[in-house]
Amino acid sequence: METLDLIIDFHKNNPRQGPGSQQSTIKALQFLPQLTPQTQLLDVGCGTGAQTMVLSEQTPAHITAVDSSKEFLSILKHKVLQKGITNRLTVKEMDMEQLAFAPESLDVIWAEGAIYNIGFSRGIREWRPLLKKDGYLVVSEISWLSTERPQIVDKYWTEVYPEMGTIAEKTAQIEEAGYIPVAHFVLPESDWTSHYYHYYEANEAAFLERHSHSEDAKALVEENRQEMKHFEKYSAYYNYVFYIMQKR
Ligand code: SAH
């Protein structure tokens, strides 16, 4: 099995594919004006739709949820069918590097734990033309919480994600890209531990079993364990941060 397929298989049974929580999605929503049934909201890199479902419960907006993984999308499609909300929640396979929407057609673009795939600075620039005047872009992005940090942490994350930056750096990029930085907040640690890493551990054994303890499967589990250990030790230095910005 290809590495990406293994990663998808590891994550698909978990409630979410990145750190976050219902509470954090709701908190971010509170910085936006009241959404209406006319609101066009795009959820980019939706995964199996943890935040998509929260957005559909908390707002009357019309939501389009896109991701590049068919497997994740089929799980979300199932949830949407079960809830009977296909009339206002559309699920589509789409590459975030080629979002096929008309210019100035969206009121809100939402991306939790996903914009790193295109890169923060590129994503906020390329998606901007799709937003209507005064539209909102809401993303969560891993960020440094301090300009001073142990070299080992710096090296680890810079290798994983070269665009890792401080909140001040991200805020400057937001302004340069033509947005007003409306608000930002750091996710609580429980968004990683209880809502995300908990399921890493809970599903490890079944995952290894499914793949007959293959070398690749064991390597992925080991990598995940390292990532969790790293967080346990160094979470004072980095976290996901929600950035709420408005098109200027
Ligand atoms: N928002 C979800 C998933 C975050 S994980 C959550 O918080 O639970 C990042 C997601 O981005 C994955 O679902 C992955 O399939 C998707 N992704 C990665 N590259 C992509 C691309 N080029 N276009 C669209 N989606 C992509």
Residues with CB under 6 A from ligand 1: 16-18, 20, 45-47, 50-51, 67-69, 72, 95-97, 112-114, 117
pTM given for the model: 0.97
For the chain, give the mean pLDDT: 97
Each residue's pLDDT tens digit, 190-247:
999 999 999 999 999 999 999 999 999 999 999 999 999 999 999 999 999 999 999 9
Which of 239, 225, 240 has the alpha carbon at shortest distance from 140? 240
- Which residue type occupies 6? L
pLDDT > 70 in the chain, percent: 100
Nearest CA to ligand 1 atom 16: 45
Model pLDDT, residue 2 = 83
Q: In this structure, are residues 109 and 82 in contact, taking their beta carbons and an 8 Å threshold?
A: no
Model pLDDT, residue 1 = 78
- Which residue type occupies 27? K
At a CB cut-off of 8 Å and minimum separation 6, what does 229 contact?
A: none
